[in-house]
Amino acid sequence: MKILFDNRWIGPHGIGRFASEMSQNIPGISFLPDGPSRLHPLDSLWLGRTINSLKPDVYFSPSFNPPIYCRIPFVFTIHDLIPIRFEGEATLAKKIYFNLIVRTACRRASRVLTVSEFSRGEIITWSGVDPEKVVNVSAGVAPGFNPNGPVKVFGSPYFLFVGNHKPHKNINRVVSAFAEAGQGSQVKLVVTGEPGTELKTLISSLGITNSVVFVPRIPEADLASYYRGAIGLVFPSLYEGFGLPALEAMACGTAVITSRVASLPEVVGESALFVDPLDHHAIAEAMRALYFDRELRLKLSAEGIVRARLFDWNRTAQSVANVLTAACKNRAAR
C-alpha cells in the first residue's frame, strides 16, 4: 500500500506530535514534494493536483487540510473544531474555510479521523455525515514520558503550564490563580512559550513577575523532565480536542489540575483534580491543595500512571493503518 502523507504538520505541538508518530509507525508512507505552506489559500488546489499526479493508493493528512478535487481515496484528520467554535479564535477566514472546504471534504473523504469521542460527536453534528464515516483513533503517549529520568529544577518548587497562549488555553486565569494561591517566592509558575504584551501586563499588575518563568521552547527530549520536576501540571483548558499535556504529565507521575469539559474527562478519567475553568479562585484552591497535601499528590501520581497506560501511539497507528487499508480495498472493489 502506497500512502502519500502530508508531513508539513510535523512539529512541536499536539497535531505535530500526532503527525510525527503516524509518519514513524505506519509502513508504506512517502512524503509530499515541496509545495506551498499548509495554510496557503491555494493549498487545497495544489494538494489535489499533486495527489492525482503522484497516484498513491491513498492520501492521508494528519490534520484538517483536504484536497479540493482528488481522484485518489483520501483520509484526513480533524482534531477539534476550535477554529470555528471558540470565541476569540474563530475568524471569518477560518469559518469560510471550514464551512466550504472542510465540511465538503468530510462528504468526499473515505474516512474522517479524530482523536476523541467528544470531537467525533461534534464533527458528526457539524458536518452531517454518516457517523460510521468519522473514526476516533485516539492519541498516545511516547515511551520517554515516564516517571524515571532527569528532573528539571528551578531553585524552588514549581507548577507547570504547557501549551500555547490562545484564549481556549485559559492562561490568564492560570496566572491569576497562581497569584491568589499565595505561595509567593516559595513557588514558581513555569510557562511554555513567549508572553504577549497583555499577559506581561497582567503578571506585572499581580506583582508576580519574579515568580513566573517563561520557557520559549522546550525540546521534546527534555519535556518529560519538566513534567517530572513539577508539583503539578495546571491545565484548566476551556476547550480541547484531546489534551496531550495532561496525558504526558500523568505518564510522568505528575499530578494534573484540569477541567471537566470537552475531551479532557475522556483523557484523564478520574485521575486528576478537576476545577471550574472559569473560576480562578477554584484553580487557586486546587494549586494550594496540591502544594500542601503530599498524600493527594502521591494518589494522583499513582492513578495517573495507570491511566496513561491506556493510551499508546502504536495502537493509534494501527487504527489509522486499518482505516487506510479499508479505503484502498473499497476503491479496488468499485
pLDDT one-digit tens code per residue, 5-29: 999 999 988 899 999 999 999 999 9
Question: For the chain, what are the domain ranges?
Answer: 3-140+312-333, 158-308
How far apart are alpha carbons 73 and 70 in whole angstroms?
7
Q: Take residue 160 and report the three cell numbers written for it.
A: 507547570
Is the confidence at residue 334, as pLDDT, over 60? Answer: no
User: Which pLDDT band holds residue 88 (cuts at 50, 70, 90)?
Assistant: confident
User: Which pLDDT band holds residue 143 (cuts at 50, 70, 90)?
Assistant: very high
- Same topology, domains 3-140+312-333 and 158-308? Answer is yes
pLDDT at 63: 96
pLDDT one-digit tens code per residue, 179-195: 999 876 799 999 999 99
User: Which pLDDT band holds residue 42 (cuts at 50, 70, 90)?
Assistant: confident
In the chain, % of residues over pLDDT 90 = 87
The mean pLDDT value for 133-140 works out to: 98
**What are 290's strand-pairing partners?**
none
**What are 255's strand-pairing partners?**
232
Burial class (CB in 10 A: 0-12, 13-18, 19+), 275: buried
Task: Mark residue 243 as left, alpha or beta (left: phi above 0; alpha: psi -120 to 50; beta: remaining).
Answer: left
pLDDT one-digit tens code per residue, 277-290: 999 999 999 999 99
pLDDT one-digit tens code per residue, 308-319: 999 999 999 999
**DSSP class per residue in 252-292:** TT-EEEEESSTTHHHHHTTSSEEE-TT-HHHHHHHHHHHHH
Is the confidence at residue 138, as pLDDT, over 90? Answer: yes
Task: Specify the higher pLDDT residue, 168 or 39.
Answer: 168
User: Which pLDDT band holds residue 332 (cuts at 50, 70, 90)?
Assistant: low
pLDDT at 2: 96
The domain at 3-140+312-333 falls in which architecture?
3-Layer(aba) Sandwich (3.40)
State the number of CA atoms in the 13 A half-sphere of 263 facing the CB: 26
Amino acid, single-letter form, for residue 232: G
Number of other residues whose CB lies within 10 A of the CB of residue 37: 9
- Whether this model's pTM surpasses 0.85: yes
The mean pLDDT value for 224-251 works out to: 98
Please state which of the ranges 77-86, 144-153, 270-279, 313-322 shows the lowest mean pLDDT: 77-86
**DSSP class per residue in 193-259:** S---HHHHHHHHHTT-GGGEEEES---HHHHHHHHHHSSEEEE--S--SS-HHHHHHHHTT-EEEEE
pLDDT at 22: 97
The domain at 158-308 falls in which architecture?
3-Layer(aba) Sandwich (3.40)
Is the confidence at residue 295, as pLDDT, over 90? Answer: yes
The mean pLDDT value for 232-259 works out to: 98
Is the confidence at residue 333, as pLDDT, over 80? Answer: no
How far apart are alpha carbons 5 and 33 in whole angstroms?
10
How far apart are alpha carbons 318 and 327 in whole angstroms?
14
Burial class (CB in 10 A: 0-12, 13-18, 19+), 314: exposed
Number of other residues whose CB lies within 10 A of the CB of residue 215: 18
Is the confidence at residue 214, as pLDDT, over 60? Answer: yes
